[in-house]
């Protein structure tokens, strides 16, 4: 049975997979970026939890990351559309079906990467803060 953390990441991945971009989880950047864009969900850093006693609970503000990548001549518009889609997908259900207390993305810091012989890439890491509680730090 998956842990609450893994269940949350699976739900976040499913929500991102509904977007037109190709969505991967924990994969390396492929050699080719799909025309509609690419999202790679990274587990990130759970940080130090707040701990409450009786009952014992660990309250996390887990910092996951979404790598968003687009390529082509219209990459500025495509990147804007892709990031707006991520924002709308998260805003549609800030609790991921009740799995989290709150899900919130931070603003991306886009960077253009020149690629020899083809159109440049536009990419950014989008931090996503997942607020959730578990009964076990390994759970």
pLDDT at 94: 97
The pTM of the full predicted model, rounded to 2 decimals, is 0.93
How far apart, in whole angstroms, are the C-alpha atoms of residue 50 and residue 41? 25
Between CA 62 and CA 82 the distance in angstroms is: 23
Helix (H) / strand (E) element for 9: namely helix 4-17
For residue 114 the two structure tokens come to 């020149």
| Residue among 13, 25, 23, 21 at smallest CA distance from 37 | 21
Q: What is the pLDDT of residues 67-119, one digit of tens each?
A: 999 998 889 999 999 999 999 999 999 999 999 999 999 999 999 988 887 77
Residue 121 to residue 82: CA distance in whole angstroms = 14
Q: Count of alpha carbons within 13 Å of 109, Cβ hemisphere only? A: 2
Summarize pLDDT for 30-78 with one digit per residue, the tens: 988 999 999 999 999 999 999 999 999 999 999 999 999 999 888 999 9
Mapped onto helix, strand or coil, the DSSP state of residue 68 is strand
Domains within the chain, CATH numbers bracketed: 4-62+73-134 (3.30.2000)
Asked whether residue 139 carries a pLDDT value surpassing 80, the answer given is no
Name the H helices within 18-108. Answer: 75-91
């Amino acid at each position: 049975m998956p842990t609450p953390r893994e269940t949350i990441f699976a739900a976040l991945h499913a929500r991102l997979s509904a977007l037109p971009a190709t969505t991967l989880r924990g994969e390396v950047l492929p050699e080719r970026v799909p025309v509609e864009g690419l999202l790679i969900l990274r587990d990130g850093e759970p940080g130090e939890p707040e701990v409450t006693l009786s009952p014992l609970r660990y309250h996390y503000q887990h910092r996951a990351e979404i790598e968003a990548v687009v390529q082509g001549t219209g990459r500025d518009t495509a990147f804007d559309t892709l990031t707006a889609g991520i924002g709308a997908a998260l805003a549609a259900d800030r609790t991921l079906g009740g799995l989290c207390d709150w899900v919130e993305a931070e603003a991306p810091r886009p960077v253009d990467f020149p690629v020899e012989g083809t159109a440049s890439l536009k990419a950014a890491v989008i931090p996503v803060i997942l607020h959730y509680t578990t009964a076990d730090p390994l759970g």
